[in-house]
Amino acid sequence: MVIHQALFAGYGGVDATDWTIVSTDSGNGWNFRLSDGDYQAGDLILFIGMSDSDNINFSNYYSNSFSTTELVNTDDNSIDYAINFGKMPSGVGYIQGNQGADIGMALALRPSVTASSYSVTIKSLQEDNDFPTHNNASVSLAAGSLAILIGMLDDDAISNISPPSDSTFIAMDKDNGNGTMGVAYKKIATSGSYSWGSWSTTEDEDDKALAFVLEIIANES
């Protein structure tokens, strides 16, 4: 399954060699707020939400000047999920709102180049009946891109979740009775095929699960 959206028109040379995870915000039942101390103009703001059985809505932004693109909003393997993203404009002091997800996360991501736009692609979506795993599925990723790994576990709220090897943990969120989500990343220095295995926990929990690999590319003008 490959889902692709480009935010704003125009593609340019892609030579971003570094990315910074500037800030994250997450919480049960989820109200989010990122202030201008958490981002700067041009950053990519990525919203990820999951629910046990509710539709997810990212529409309640307090700042009308910040528009986002909905990458996906659907359900698979008993999990409702949505991913939105937007390029942060200048002159916006904060973004704040809420959405209908049980579990959610907002991330501010910054490339080492000036991006005129961002392309975000779901390169892999894997289902499992026990725990999130990427099943070592091979995905092709571009040099300078950022891979975001997402693991979603239905129903069970666990206290810890660790990403697959060859990735770096960012954050997790959980909600009792509704599930757990973990997010990690890998900076892609060289174009080629990449793969990842299973997420893990020290707890004895299993349920229906999803695992995503996103590719984020900063497009220069």
For the stretch 116-134, pLDDT in tens is: 999 999 999 999 999 999 9
Q: What pLDDT does residue 201 have?
A: 97
Any residues with CB less than 8 A from the CB of 88 and at least 6 apart, and which?
Answer: 39, 40, 41, 42, 43, 44, 45, 66, 95, 108
- Confidence class of residue 105 from pLDDT cuts 50, 70 and 90? confident
d(CA 34, CA 74): 25
157-181 pLDDT tens trace: 999 999 999 999 999 999 888 899 9
User: What does the alpha-carbon distance between residue 49 and residue 80 come to, in Å, rounded to a whole number?
Assistant: 8
pLDDT at 28 > cutoff 60: no
- As a whole number, the mean pLDDT across the chain is 86
Percentage with pLDDT > 90 across the chain: 62
* DSSP element (H, E) containing 85: strand 79-87
What is the per-residue pLDDT for 106?
87
Q: What share of the chain in percent tops pLDDT 70? A: 84
> Closest Cα to residue 11, out of 87, 118, 111, 84?
118
- Give the Cα separation of 123 and 29 in Å (integer): 28
Per-residue pLDDT band for 67 (boundaries 50, 70, 90) equals confident
What does pTM read for this prediction?
Answer: 0.90
Q: Looking at residues 192-221, what average pLDDT do you find?
A: 95
Residue 60 pLDDT: 46
The answer to whether 215 and 147 have CB atoms below 8 angstroms apart is yes
pLDDT of residue 87: 92
CA distance 64 to 181: 28
